[in-house]
């Protein structure tokens, strides 16, 4: 079974706009993972992560780097 994960920081209209106690705008990142069996999608999961824009950009970057290292090497060497 294989999987493909996409991460996107949602715009304000999609997730609403909130402000944390420091006055920073809070955003939502949608993480969608689709699992495939013989090339046919069999399961889809959605996760939503809240944070400031900078926090979400950093998380997206580190998650993509970890996923790249795992798929290229075959064994997880990320972090």
Q: Average pLDDT of the chain?
A: 80
Q: How confident is the model at residue 79 (pLDDT cuts 50, 70, 90)?
A: very low
Does residue 79 form part of some domain? no
> Is 50 domain-assigned?
yes
In 3D, which of 15, 36, 33 has the Cα closest to residue 25? 15
How many domains, in total, are found in the chain? Answer: 1
CA distances in angstroms from 79 to 6, 62, 63, 70, listed in the order given? 20, 9, 10, 10
**Taking the model in full, what pTM does it have?**
0.65
Give the domain extent around 17: 2-73
In the predicted model, what is the mean pLDDT of residues 41-48? 91
Q: Is residue 68 part of a domain?
A: yes
CA–CA gap between residue 25 and residue 22 (Å, rounded): 9
Residue 60 lies in a domain: yes
Q: Which token pair is 72?
A: 């290229």
CA pair distance 29, 63, nearest whole angstrom: 12
Residue 54 belongs to a domain: yes
Residues 1-19: pLDDT tens digits? 788 888 888 776 665 677 8
């Amino acid at each position: 079974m294989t999987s493909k994960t996409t991460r996107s920081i949602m715009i304000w209209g999609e997730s609403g706009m909130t402000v944390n106690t420091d006055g920073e705008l809070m955003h939502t990142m949608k993480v969608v993972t689709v699992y495939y069996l013989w090339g046919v999608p069999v399961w889809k999961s959605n996760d939503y992560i809240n944070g400031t824009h900078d926090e979400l950009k950093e998380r997206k970057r580190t998650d993509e780097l970890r996923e790249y290292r795992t798929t290229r090497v075959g064994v997880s060497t990320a972090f």
